[in-house]
Amino acid sequence: MSGLKISLGSGGVRFQGWTHVDADPQWQPDVTADLSQPLPFPDACADFLQSEDFIGQLSIDQADAFFRDCHRVLRAGGVMRLLTPDLAQLVAMYQQRDFRLRDLWEREVGIPLRTRTLGELVHKAITFAQQQSFYDEETLRALLEPIGFVVKRVGYQQSDFVELQGLDQRSPDNAISLYLDCVKSPGPDH
Ligand SMILES: C[S@@+](CC[C@H](N)C(=O)[O-])C[C@H]1O[C@@H](n2cnc3c(N)ncnc32)[C@H](O)[C@@H]1O
């Protein structure tokens, strides 16, 4: 098994030529697995990993273990594309009383707000569904870089790697996503 492209926490999203992993069998993933546990793949079997709007479903300790296992599964020089809602954007929009945040919530998330205040929205954004953690770039770097990932912040659908271009499901018009390409450094320590 080598040269795989693996989508982690894929839900109903499908990419041609990729292996899709999710815990929920209703999505009929290629591999049904709980990603809070070790990944069911051998070392260095993957060229590319992709995960969008999944890591918030793990606690920060589970995310740390998940990233370590992603690093194990990637070959040296392999890349993980990671998207997650951006805590920094959420907080900035709250502080600036940017009501586009509420438009976005009501249009894209649709969970009713009782008061429709930005404060209630921030609370709901952090606690709704099975959400367990909410990241900014600094925190993700603090988790990923010591493991041996070289982290590059990129834009929507932007990547130096053609295999990772065009995968993003959420744009700045419909989400507050953070877009990262995380390269497994081939350094001797990792
Ligand atoms: C918000 S959806 C994102 C789906 C897709 N990646 C997308 O961008 O639309 C989160 C997905 O993570 C999956 N998930 C949540 N906890 C999981 C776990 N512990 N192991 C594997 N998958 C999990 C859910 O079943 C769901 O399909």
Q: Please write the tens of the pLDDT for every residue from 130-183.
A: 889 999 999 999 999 999 999 999 999 999 999 999 999 999 999 999 999 999
CA of 84 to the centre of ligand 1 (A): 12
DSSP one-letter code for 157: T
Higher pLDDT, 190 or 12: 12
Contact in structure between 81 and 155 (CB atoms under 8 Å): no
Q: What is the pLDDT of residues 31-82, one digit of tens each?
A: 999 999 999 999 999 999 999 999 999 999 999 999 999 999 999 999 999 9
Give exposure, 126-164, as e/b (b: 16+ Cβ within 10 Å).
Answer: eeeeeebbbbbeeebbebbeebbbebeebeeeebeeebb
Does the beta carbon of 179 sit less than 6 angstroms from any atom of ligand 1?
no
Does the beta carbon of 35 sit less than 6 angstroms from any atom of ligand 1?
yes
Half-sphere exposure of 63 (CA within 13 A, CB side): 22
> Is residue 190 scored above 90 in pLDDT?
no
> Is residue 112 scored above 60 in pLDDT?
yes
CA of 131 to the centre of ligand 1 (A): 11
Q: How many CB atoms lie within 10 A of CB 56?
A: 18
> Is residue 13 scored above 70 in pLDDT?
yes
Does the beta carbon of 174 sit less than 6 angstroms from any atom of ligand 1?
no
Does the beta carbon of 11 sit less than 6 angstroms from any atom of ligand 1?
yes
pLDDT of residue 188: 54
For ligand 1, atom 17: residue with the closest CA:
23
Q: What is the pLDDT of residues 81-102, one digit of tens each?
A: 999 999 999 999 999 999 999 9
Does the beta carbon of 10 sit less than 6 angstroms from any atom of ligand 1?
yes
In this prediction, residue 186 has a pLDDT band, given cuts at 50, 70 and 90, of confident
CA of 189 to the centre of ligand 1 (A): 32
Does the beta carbon of 50 sit less than 6 angstroms from any atom of ligand 1?
no
In this prediction, residue 128 has a pLDDT band, given cuts at 50, 70 and 90, of confident
- Distance, in Å, from the CA atom of 95 to the CA atom of 33, rounded to the nearest integer, reads 39
Does the beta carbon of 52 sit less than 6 angstroms from any atom of ligand 1?
yes
